[in-house]
Structure 1
Amino acid sequence: MVVAGEIRTRLVEYGKFKIVIMDAPCDENSHMYVRELKQLGVTDVVRTCEPTYSPELFEREGIEVHEMTFPDGAAPPEELIQKWNGALAESWDRDVARAYASADSHRSYRCG
């Protein structure tokens, strides 16, 4: 987790998809993440870590928060991989450009 005045994000683009990898927000800095994510066109956040922030601000700003947590240092269970792939496929099938942000930069790369 980062301190209240700092945020870290990394944008990865593939075709029409944007995936933003970011550190886990906290309640004190989540407004900064929301601002950054909205500028990038993010519509969904996938939380892979333990909750460190309330999803209410994100949802109020039109960013849906999906819970896909798994233990730090572990591989995601097959069920979560299927859920992640299903969400991406749904967006692809509808031909919708959708951006995802995965909270917790240490875990997000494992769900792809």
Structure 2
Amino acid sequence: MNRPAPVELCHKNMRFLITHNPTDSTLNSFIEVLKRYGVTTVVRVCDSTYDKAPLEKDGITVVDWPFDDGAPPPNKLVDDWLTLLKKKFQEDPGCCVAVHCVAGLGRAPVLVALALIESGMKYEDAIQLIRQKRRGAINSKQLTYLEKYRSKQRLRFKDPHTHKNKCCIM
């Protein structure tokens, strides 16, 4: 099966690698791609098709959060995803988090879109950015979910160069 190449998306201090799932036979080349992008965490949102032990041996954490193909993610998974990203990007701004589903066209891009929306991007702009790099990403059911999604601004990071307490003297 011919699958799209992994794509990197960067926004503010966040970096994502959207990819399809590897198999045990393609795992070594998958690990090399992850290393090239500096990935230390992989979020697997589909059923397992490979042994995660070789990744963990190379210092790459694999998080399993599968959900149904073609569907929006459950609320608990969204909360867990955003909590993971907030921690990763605060501890290591500019690090790269990889996320994959089977083809890298539905579930994985939806999670990245949610992160972009939570960082302050409009949902239309998030979709456009993802689709510029990943043609055919996100189906109509997922689009409707993203359109209705309301950000709680959980990934708005404070600029470390600004004052913590802004005040105005009158």
Give your verdict on TM over 0.5.
yes
Deviations 1:14-64 (A, max 9, x none): 123210000111000011010011011001000001111110111111110
5+ residue gaps, structure 2, are 115-170
Question: Do structure 1's residue 99 and structure 2's residue 58 form an aligned pair?
Answer: no
Percent of aligned pairs with the same amino acid: 28
Which one-letter code corresponds to 1:16 in the other structure? N
Q: Please, which of 78, 84, 87 is the counterpart of residue 87 of structure 1?
A: 84
Q: Is the 8 A contact 1:91 1:97 kept in 2?
A: no
Greater share of residues in strand: 1
Aligned residues: 109
Q: Which has the larger radius of gyration?
A: 2
Bigger helix share: 2
- In structure 2, C-alpha distance between the alignment counterparts of 1:76 and 1:7, rounded to whole Å: 22
Q: From the superposition, tell whether residues 61 and 95 of structure 1 become closer, same or farther in structure 2 (CA, over 3 Å).
A: closer
Equivalent positions of 1:63-82 (< 5 A) are 63-82=60-79
TM-score by length of 1: 0.88
Tell me which of the two structures has the higher relative contact order, counting C-alpha pairs closer than 8 angstroms and 6 or more residues apart. 1
**Which amino acid in 1 is paired with 2:78?**
I
Specify every segment of 5 or more residues in structure 1 that has no aligned partner in the other structure, as ranges: none
Give the CA deviation at 1:94. 2.5
Aligned partner of 1:68: which letter? W
